[in-house]
Amino acid sequence: MLSTLLSAVQKRALYNRTRRELANLPADFAIEDLGFYPGDADRIAYQAVYGR
């Protein structure tokens, strides 16, 4: 049970860090070079961390 809780906390921290980094990218860089809209950072980070 403790390992499950620790894993969930680690994933949430990774999600928060990934979402923050994606959302803070300059819009022109994100759109032109990476091909995504920074407003989609929540969805992209969730898929990257949780795979859903």
pLDDT, one tens digit for every residue, the chain (52 residues): 889 999 999 999 999 999 999 999 998 988 888 888 888 999 999 999 999 8
Rg of the chain's alpha carbons, rounded to an integer? Answer: 13
pTM of the model: 0.84
Predicted pLDDT of residue 23: 92
Counting the structural domains of the chain, the total is 1
Where do we find the tokens 């403790």? 2
**Domain range holding 21?**
2-50
> Token pair for residue 43?
């969805």
Where do we find the tokens 């898929």? 47
